Structure 1
């Protein structure tokens, strides 16, 4: 006896809720999206054609996806401290493509704000900005001597 689309949708979303906290609105959106996806898959399976990939509209505004202690993947909705290249590859993207697709600048770190701040502070404590400035000055002097 096969399960109905509603039962499958409920199981999938119940599984998501057990692994992460979701607001009522997020649950409603996830239920609707999951049901529509399953329905489209079922229809394409019965007709015998491949489902066309739909343009994914992220459930959250890209600007709100990078939060203090987490970053939310705009492709699947999972939460991380940092979006790893391995995870992005599972969506067929690299970090440059992900940034471009979702409107982030090329310099935007794909990690939680707290982690980014911690890394920045650690670099400053190790003297990276000063060392970088010195290296740039030396490189500039060397290129001026060669000309």
Structure 2
């Protein structure tokens, strides 16, 4: 680590005006920063805003990233975190069937889709058969 800190400081000093009295302090700051980076990456695991078990409600889903209550999680993840549902599930160790839409909202949309005939095969009208 000391060697890496020395390389960083040497590069910095080569491109900036630094007095000789500031170099030891700069070396210490860079070295301590590198040491913190090594510790943070290995020990910390992200903490969800709420427990995954308590994130699904009938009318909304709570985002584990920021704790927001949403009907649809997919768009929020993409715009706020540039994250896909797959990446979100992997980050929080969620099952593959973890919903991205609130259960009541999904039922409402399904009912609406069935009412307008989505998902059914349309029958040809008698005028088309005659032609």
Q: Would you say how many aligned residue pairs link Structure 1 and Structure 2?
A: 89
TM-score by length of 1: 0.46
Query: Which one of 96, 101, 106 corresponds to residue 105 of structure 1?
Result: 96
Q: In the superposition, relative to structure 1, how do residues 86 and 61 fare at CA in structure 2: closer, same or farther (>3 Å)?
A: closer
Structure with the greater alpha carbon radius of gyration: 2
**For 1:77 and 1:109, how far apart are their aligned partners in 2?**
16
Greater helix proportion: 1
Change in CA separation of 1:73 and 1:86 when aligned onto 2, cut-off 3 Å: closer
Tell me which moved more, 64-73 or 91-100.
Answer: 91-100
Gapped regions of structure 1 (runs ≥ 5): 1-43, 135-147
Which of 52, 56, 60 aligns to 1:62? It is 52
- CA drift of 1:119 comes to 0.7
Counterpart of 1:117 in structure 2 is 107
**Following the alignment from structure 1 to structure 2, what is the Cα–Cα distance between the partners of residues 125 and 79?**
28
Q: Distance in 2 between matches of 1:62 and 1:131?
A: 39
Q: 1:96 to 1:131 in 2, by over 3 A?
A: farther
TM-score after normalising by structure 2? 0.50
Structure 1 residues 116-140: Cα deviation after superposition (integer angstroms, max 9, x where no partner):
11111111212223339x9xxxxxx
The two structures, once aligned, show a CA RMSD in angstroms of 3.3
Change (3 A) 1:111 1:90: same
- Equivalent residue runs for 1:1-147 within 5 Å: 47-49=32-34, 51=37, 52=40, 54-102=44-92, 103-105=94-96, 108-131=98-121
